[in-house]
Copies of this chain bind each other. A is one copy, B any other.
């Protein structure tokens, strides 16, 4: 027997993971189009042809790099929903997974990313809608709420707007809590 503590399969998985991490980082920084296979390979310390060998095509690499299951809100009333959304936002503001950032970065210029984000946001809107059945026009309220939170995330994580850049998540959450509450409130 030879001495490699790591089998071939293990080394392959490790290399694959390193490539995926580099891809995630570059896709999140530059978006789909401006990220090249060559740059990903260089960042991962491997040969460009190896990336193609492992993932087949650039599109497949992107798909693998950004796959993440977004958790949906499960609250059943408006107050619990507010807390849940704000908690999620707070976590988001503390640093979103790079795969999600990569998807968001590309959503305005890459049709495939746009479709996937649209689907994810639609599911999120449906979940929020279900959590405030007593409100008037719940679908529209939910869509506006989700879009607004998306905008805040974009301003903070992708655009780096000065006042948001240095703000702690707690302060942000504290300020928007009443606004979110007014959107989820019933119309009684």
Contacts and interface: CB of A to CB of B under 8 A. Distances in A.
Contact of A108 (B107, B141, B163, B167): B107
B163 A125 contact: yes
B152 A147 contact: yes
Interface in A99-131: 104-109, 114, 117-118, 121-122, 125
A161 B118 contact: yes
Interface in A121-167: 121-122, 125, 137, 139-144, 146-156, 158-164, 167
A71 interface: no
Contact of A161 (B34, B125, B151): B125
Instruction: Please state the number of chain copies in the assembly.
Output: 2
B161 A121 contact: yes
A80 interface: no
Interface of A: 30-31, 33-34, 104-109, 114, 117-118, 121-122, 125, 137, 139-144, 146-156, 158-164, 167, 171-172, 175-176, 178-183
Given A122-B162, A181-B182, 18 more contacts: A30-B109, A31-B109, A109-B109, A121-B155, A140-B163, A140-B167, A141-B175, A142-B163, A143-B164, A144-B152, A144-B172, A147-B151, A147-B161, A148-B148, A148-B149, A151-B151, A179-B182, A179-B183
24 contacts: A30-B109, A34-B109, A106-B108, A108-B159, A109-B109, A121-B159, A121-B161, A122-B161, A125-B161, A125-B162, A137-B175, A139-B163, A141-B175, A142-B163, A144-B176, A146-B155, A146-B161, A147-B151, A147-B164, A148-B148, A148-B149, A148-B179, A179-B179, A179-B180
